Structure 1
Amino acid sequence: MKTKIFIVSSLLLVQGVFPLRAKAIVPPTQSVVQIAQTDKSAVTFYDRGVEKYKAEDFKGAIADFDRAIEIDPSYAQAFISRGNAKDDAGKPQEAIADYDKAIELIPTYADAYNNRGITKYRLGDKQAAIADYDKAIQFNPKYDNAYYNRGLAKYDLGDNQGARADYDRALELNPQYGKNYYNKRG
Structure 2
Amino acid sequence: MTQEYYNRGLEKAKEKDYAGAISDFTQELQLNPYFAEAYLQRGLAYYDSGNILHAVSDYTEALKLDSQNIQVYYSRALARMVLKNIPSAMDDVERAIRIDYSYAAAHNLRGTLLRKSGDIHNAIFSFKKAAELYLQQKDGENCRLCMEKIKQLQPKPQSVASSKLTSPKPTLKPLGIVSEGDYFKQLIEKAENGDIREALESLGWAMEVDSQDGKAYCCRGVIRCKQGQFTDAISDFNQALRFNFHDAIVYRNRGKARLQMGDNQGAIADFNLALELEPKNAMMYVARGNAHRSTGNYLKATQDYTKALEFNPDDAQAYYNRGLANTHIEEMQSAIDDYQKAASIFCEQEDWKNYQQVLDNLKKITVPSKDLTKPKSALQRQKLLRLVGGYWEIAERLIEDAKYQYPGMSEDWYMEKVINDIERDRNN
**Residue by residue, what CA displacement relative to the aligned partner does 1:23-70 show, whole Å, maximum 9, x if unpaired?**
xxx8xx935356435434333211100121122221110111122233
Shift of 1:168: 1.2
Q: Which amino acid aligns with 1:62?
A: I
- Is 2:263 the partner of 1:91? yes
Aligned partner of 1:146 among 311, 318, 333: 318
Number of aligned residue pairs: 170
Shift of 1:73: 4.7
**Residue by residue, what CA displacement relative to the aligned partner does 1:124-173 show, whole Å, maximum 9, x if unpaired?**
00001001111111111111111100000111111221111111111222
Change in 2 beyond 3 A, CA 1:81/1:12 = closer
Q: Which amino acid aligns with 1:32?
A: L
- Is 2:346 the partner of 1:169? no
Change in 2 beyond 3 A, CA 1:63/1:33 = farther
Q: Which amino acid aligns with 1:180?
A: V
Q: Which amino acid aligns with 1:65?
A: F
Work out the CA distance in 2 between the residues paired with 1:48 and 1:33.
Answer: 10
1:115-126 to 2 correspondence within 5 Å?
Answer: 115-126=287-298
**Residue by residue, what CA displacement relative to the aligned partner does 1:95-123 show, whole Å, maximum 9, x if unpaired?**
11000001111111111111111011011
Work out the CA distance in 1 between the residues paired with 2:299 and 2:361.
Answer: 20
Q: Which has the larger radius of gyration?
A: 2
Change in 2 beyond 3 A, CA 1:112/1:152 = same
**Alignment match, 1:10:** 187
SS at match of 1:90: coil
Change in 2 beyond 3 A, CA 1:54/1:91 = same
Q: Is the 8 A contact 1:133 1:146 kept in 2?
A: yes
**Alignment match, 1:36:** 207
TM-score (norm 2): 0.37
Q: Which amino acid aligns with 1:124?
A: G
Change in 2 beyond 3 A, CA 1:130/1:9 = farther
Q: Which amino acid aligns with 2:360?
A: Y
The percentage of counterpart residues that share the same residue type is 32
Q: Which runs of 5+ in 1 are unaligned?
A: 1-7
Work out the CA distance in 2 between the residues paired with 1:33 and 1:183.
Answer: 43
Shift of 1:84: 0.6
Change in 2 beyond 3 A, CA 1:180/1:9 = farther
SS at match of 1:30: helix
Q: Which runs of 5+ in 2 are unaligned?
A: 1-184, 365-428
TM-score (norm 1): 0.81
Q: Is the 8 A contact 2:230 2:260 kept in 1?
A: yes
Q: Is the 8 A contact 1:110 1:137 kept in 2?
A: yes
**Alignment match, 2:307:** 135
